Structure 1
């Protein structure tokens, strides 16, 4: 009886942990689900860039780029460093790079090799 109760507690703890991790993953994927944010992340995977760099590369207005960067920063996907008047953006962690690499492999590498 005690062993059964302990197993239920373990399962309950595991489900709670799983639910928490599922929520984290869902929030992460929501940030990636926006086309402009995903493109920004892909560009930043190649190295850090300023807002001006991203503006030119993406052919988007500064306000649009800044809005998307603010969201990515809020979600913890990009980090910044300041050098004088310039703020440089980069991927915040290796987890983001791993997911971007997987997306690239599935959607970019395979399509390029099919053509």
Structure 2
């Protein structure tokens, strides 16, 4: 399955609308049937198999995290202090909603007494 640029952006939008597919804090994320149904809806809209959509999405997210890592490395090491790395991948900004999904949530200190 080959996607043109416009189709890639549509796929990203469809995923973003279905938070349960990518956000582990979503209450329905652990419901396998709900995730399956959401992926099937996306696959039907592209007239392909659900597994094909999953494979494409994995490729896109891998590409996104590689780009994100490059940005972070140039900021951290100052190796590109004059010109930090900025992704030129056309889908980087649209898929950037994934950037916050792995941030740790605030925790409470259970050792403090009330």
Normalised to the residue count of structure 2, the TM-score between the two structures is 0.35
| Structure whose residues are more often strand by fraction | 1
Normalised to the residue count of structure 1, the TM-score between the two structures is 0.35
